[in-house]
Chain A
Amino acid sequence: MSATDVTGTFTPPTPTQPDRRPRVRPGDAPDTADRVFRGFAVGSGIAVLAIMGMVGLFLGFRALLALRSAGWSFLTTEAWEPDSHNFGIKAVLFGTVLIGLTAILIAVPFALATALFISEYAPRRLQRTFVLLVDLMAAVPSVVYGLWGAFFLQGNLTGLSRWLSTYLSWIPPLSVTIADPNDPLATATTYTSSTFIAGVVVAMMITPIASSVMREAFIQAPPGEREGAFALGATKWGMIRAVVLPYGRGGIIGGTMLGLGRALGETIAVYMIISPVFTMKWHILQNGGISVSALIALRWGSASDFGLSALFAAGLALFVMTLAVNFVASSIVARSRSGAGAEG
């Protein structure tokens, strides 16, 4: 109906019958149910925000007393004696990171292999079963892993620890200072309650979690590109290297970081295994170590008011660290190609 007249100007079509009804604009005047719903929804958002904000503010507020008293020495002191005002996060934070790194170094190869196995190599019929098994393991409570570590691993991992410290002691973290590894009569307790054993238990806990995140990314690798790689003559491993791993890179990094976040915050399993030592040492195979959450679990009951404040400061430091890890992970996952096209 739009007409172009001889002068070349365009005349828009005019509606011949103007609508008698007023124009409907959804969202303009919501009915009562919508208004109530909106109120509830916004209210829940505010409530959640209030709870979370309260935890954060409380954490900061309670930590302030200790932080103000300790000042910058909080970051550089190795001891933890808050009642004589001689305390700092340095050794504790170092121990936490050491346990987390040990756990993640052990967990990542296993998580990656399991994710690839489930998404690429496992028979189709068994795929769902394997997925169920791994996810099931992610839900196992940490106290179960802790009991297993304390009663089984403490006794059976010392052989491996001794072997590592004997033959690989040229790697600094694997050396042992409190006993001569070549002395066959050295007591086995040198190797118990170590950062390494705690790291292995935490690795068992975080591997299923990291593996599920990685698997979700691998499974979504586009089938067209997989078949293209095969059609160009790639072997299965060639296809995985060329298509699946680059596509799932975000998932790999995200899963690793998620696991690291869990490992840093793990309390009970570490508490059940480690024997607390407040010095910075990187000898992961020998007795003694510490983590922030194990410190809190150890000391909260006997802490004075000031001691509690110091524990809050430690908790705040741990929270800031896990927060940074989580945000880096989520920004990497958001920027990668993994999961692209999952919506719409």
Chain B
Amino acid sequence: MPPARLGASASRPGQAPPARTQGTVLPGQDLPRPSGDRPRLRPGAVRRSDVLALVGAAMASMGVTWLLFNELAPFSGLLGEIVVLWTTFVVLYALLVSFDESVQAVRDRLAMVVISSLAVLLLVALAFVVTYVLFRGRDALTHLNTFTQDLSVAGPLSPITQGGILHGVVGTIEQITMSLLITVPLGLTCAVYLNEFRGPFPRFVRTIVEAMTALPSIVAGLFIYTSYILTFGLGKSGSAAALALSIMMLPIIIRAADVVIRLVPGNLREASLAMGAGRWRTVWHVVLPTSRSGLATAVILGTARGIGETSPVLLTAGYGQATNFDPTGGPQVSLPLLAFELFKFPNETMRARSFGAAATLLVLVLALFITARVVGGRGPGNLSPRQQRQAARSSRQDAERFVRAHAERQGLVPPSGLALLLGPPVAPPAAPPVARGPAPAPPTQIHPVVDAGTTGSGTAAPEDQSPADAAGDGEESS
């Protein structure tokens, strides 16, 4: 937090007090100003000299670059121009600021300019990569046959209006579905195991998983190629590619899910165990729901990584030009592999299809990613208002259920202390659920039977004392 805004909302001594005196009287208004005519310091404000220095440096650097590239030196090339422009801008800006600021301030401005410009440059460059690929793919993407046909109907020289990338789309969807069927149950269970059980074995598994995130993806492909395809002789197929992708995605999903589950506050688990829930119930009802959005993010990020991988698929899927729906036999190409294989062709139509496949893949990955952000935008235990209301409602129902069950088991009305803890029943006070039937007196009666009406009227407990909200407080503090 910059301390800049401190003075902004306070009363300004520089302004004359208003003529109307019947309003609020601010203290200190009538005191003499302490320091003569010195203007008030406002550290965060933008001053005219700042703007002038920026604009001046920008214009001067553009002029110098133009002079260098067009008149003086034998320089050429857009990239070189950008580099020279940036360097002269930074130097000139530092020079201009140094005319009326201290060394500290010059360093501060220089850091700001360098950091901001590098960041903007990177974002522009990355955006350029994406738009470049989408732009080059426009030929293929604007023809509907790209998505409805495969390459078996198109020869090497047929125009862009024939043939398409349907076989790649089919292959991508089948392969990623199969690898998700393997990795999601296995990966999430393993992540839960790593967090919920202590001992040397989980630690060992975690170390191995961390080591396996270093496995180069091509080696995963090579492994499946030599074992599944060469040793077992099963041939290149979609399922071999799915296995290779699974080996690559499994460590990613486990690590991402592990991090998310580790963030579940320990006091939530302890609360659940203290209420008498077993390990399994704690995991199912507390740990997994709390980290649900993070787990979804982990899975979707793993999917995004797996769907865009080329090298494991290159060694295992094989390359065919016809649509192959059968993942167990025959070559089944996927979108990244298709983009890679078509890239090698020398003619423009094939390259346009290659860019089309890459662009389709890109759009697919970006859609997945945005889904991940929408689903998992919040941290564990960080609920939206609607989810908060939902949690409060269900915890009130739980409280009511507990009260009823307790009363039925014990045959007595809960003492007011418990009622305070559990919060008020949702039912109107006139007919609390515990009022049903005469309570048979238990053999060992510790607390005196409290009249049902007392419980009903004893709803003094404020709503935010319900257990769920107490747990929610714990989440926030952690």
Which positions in A face B, CB cutoff 8 Å? 26-27, 30-31, 33-34, 36-38, 40-42, 44-45, 47-49, 51-53, 55-56, 58-59, 62, 109-110, 113-114, 116-118, 120-122, 130, 132-137, 139-148, 150-152, 156-157, 159-160, 163, 204, 207-208, 211, 223, 226-227, 230-231, 235-238, 240, 261, 264-265, 267-268, 272, 292-293, 296-297, 300, 308, 311-312, 315, 318-319, 322-323, 325-327, 330, 342-344
Q: Which residues of B in the span 64-105 have a Cβ within 8 Å of any Cβ on A? A: 75-80, 83, 104-105
Q: Across the interface, which residues of B come within 8 angstroms of A159, CB to CB?
A: 76-80
| In the complex, chain B residues whose CB is within 8 Å of the CB of A323 | 211, 214
**Contact status B336-A148, CB under 8 Å:** no
A174 to B126 alpha-carbon distance, docked (Å): 26
Interface string of B90-123 (1 = CB under 8 A from A): 0000000000000011011011101110111111
How long is the Cα–Cα vector from A49 to B204 in the complex, in angstroms?
A: 9
Interface of B is mostly: helix
Q: Are A121 and B112 in contact (CB under 8 A)?
A: yes
**Cα distance, A300 to B266, chains bound together (Å):** 49
Q: Which residues of B contact A318 (CB under 8 A)?
A: 216, 219
In the complex, are the beta carbons of A110 and B121 less than 8 A apart?
yes
With a cutoff of 8 Å between Cβ atoms, the chain A residues found around residue B220 in the complex are 55
- Cβ of B129 and Cβ of A114 under 8 Å apart? no
Q: A48-B205, A322-B214, A322-B216 are in contact. List 7 more A-B contacts (CB 8 A).
A: A114-B123, A122-B119, A135-B369, A207-B126, A267-B217, A319-B214, A326-B211
Q: Please, how many angstroms separate the alpha-carbon atoms of A265 and B129 in the complex?
A: 21
A147 in contact with B115 (CB, 8 Å): no
Query: Which residues of B sit under 8 angstroms from A118, Cβ to Cβ?
Result: 119
Say yes or no: is B254 at the interface (Cβ < 8 Å to chain A): yes
Q: B278 near A31 (CB under 8 angstroms)?
A: yes
Question: Shortest Cβ distance from A244 into chain B, in angstroms?
Answer: 11
B263 interfacial contact with A, CB 8 Å? yes
Q: Which residues of A contact B194 (CB under 8 A)?
A: 45
CA distance A116 to B110 in the complex (A): 14
A114 to B279, CA, bound (A): 43
Given contacts A163-B80, A308-B226, A315-B218, contact A55 B3 (CB under 8 A): no
The interface residues of chain A lying within 8 Å CB-to-CB of B365 are: 139-141
Q: Is B210 engaged at the interface, CB distance under 8 Å to the other chain?
A: yes
Do the beta carbons of B108 and A42 come within 8 Å of each other? Answer: no
On whether A296 and B218 interact (CB within 8 A), knowing A48-B254, A117-B116, the answer reads: yes
How many residues of B are in contact with the other chain, CB < 8 A? 107
B-chain residues with CB within 8 Å of residue A143 when the two chains form the complex: 308, 310, 336, 339-340, 358, 361
Separation of A319 and B355 alpha carbons in the complex (Å): 31
Q: Any chain A CB within 8 A of the CB of B196? A: yes
Let me know if B205 and A49 touch, CB within 8 A. yes
CB–CB B218/A293 < 8 A: yes
Interface string of B337-376 (1 = CB under 8 A from A): 0011001000000010011001001100110111001000
Cα A240 to Cα B369 in complex, Å, equals 31
Q: Is the CB of A157 within 8 A of B189?
A: no
Chain B: CB-nearest residue to A128: B377
Q: Judge whether B125 is part of the interface by a CB distance below 8 angstroms.
A: yes
B400 proximity list for chain A (CB < 8 A)? none
User: B interface vs A, CB < 8 Å?
Assistant: 1-3, 75-80, 83, 104-105, 107-108, 110-112, 114-116, 118-123, 125-127, 129-130, 132-133, 136, 186-187, 189-190, 192-194, 196-197, 201-202, 204-205, 208-220, 222-223, 225-227, 230, 247, 250-251, 254, 262-263, 265-266, 273, 278-281, 283, 301, 304-305, 307-311, 314-315, 336, 339-340, 343, 351, 354-355, 358, 361-362, 365-366, 368-370, 373, 478
Q: Is the interface of A mostly helix, strand, loop or mixed?
A: helix
Q: By the criterion CB–CB under 8 Å, are B193 and A41 in contact? A: yes
Do A30 and B129 form a contact, CB below 8 Å, given A55-B223, A141-B307? no
Residues of B within 8 A of A116 (CB): 115, 119
Chain A residue contacts of B362, Cβ below 8 A: 140-141, 144
Could you say which of A48, A142, A261 has the most chain B C-beta atoms within 10 Å of its C-beta? A48
With A152-B132, A315-B218, A325-B214 already in contact, the answer to whether A236 and B340 are too (CB < 8 A) is no
Inter-chain CA distance A94–B301, complex, in Å, is 32
Residue of B nearest to A37 (CB): B280
User: With A147-B354, A297-B314 known to touch, is A141 a contact of B218 (CB < 8 Å)?
Assistant: no
Q: Is the CB of A300 within 8 A of B309?
A: no
Cβ contacts under 8 Å, A208 to chain B: 126
The CA-CA distance from A273 to B135 in the complex, in Å, is 21
- Residues of chain B within 8 A of A130, CB atoms compared: 123
Q: How far is the CB of A29 from chain B (nearest CB, A)?
A: 10
Docked pose: A114 CA to B124 CA in angstroms: 12
| A144–B129 touching, CB < 8 Å | yes
Does A156 lie within 8 Å of B189, measured CB to CB?
no
Question: 23 pairs across A/B with beta carbons < 8 Å?
Answer: A27-B279, A34-B279, A44-B186, A45-B201, A59-B219, A62-B226, A117-B118, A133-B127, A139-B365, A139-B369, A141-B358, A141-B362, A143-B358, A143-B361, A144-B339, A147-B354, A204-B129, A265-B218, A293-B217, A297-B218, A300-B222, A300-B225, A327-B210
Question: Looking at the complex, which one of A34, A207, A342 makes contact with B278 (CB distance below 8 Å)?
Answer: A34
B370 → chain A, closest Cβ, in Å? 8
A215 to B20, CA, bound (A): 52
A36 to B189, CA, bound (A): 13
- From known contacts A41-B189, A315-B216, A319-B214, infer whether A163 and B77 are also in contact, taking CB-CB under 8 Å: yes
CB distance from A8 to the nearest CB of B (A): 37
Question: Are B226 and A160 closer than 8 Å at their CB atoms?
Answer: no
Q: Which of B111, B208, B216, B310 contacts A237 (CB 8 A)?
A: B111
Q: Which residues of B contact A297 (CB under 8 A)?
A: 218, 311, 314-315
Residues of B within 8 A of A121 (CB): 112, 115-116, 119
Verify A59–B119 contact, CB threshold 8 A: no
Q: Return the chain A residue nearest B117 by Cβ.
A: A113
Residues of A within 8 A of B121 (CB): 110
Q: Given A141-B309, A230-B2, A318-B216, are A300 and B315 neighbors across the interface (CB < 8 Å)?
A: yes
Residue of B136, B205, B266, B478 touching A45 (CB-CB under 8 A): B205
Contact between A343 and B311, CB atoms less than 8 A apart: no
Chain B residues, CB < 8 A from A117: 115-116, 118-120
Which residues of the partner chain B approach A139 to less than 8 Å between Cβ atoms? Answer: 301, 304-305, 308, 365-366, 368-369
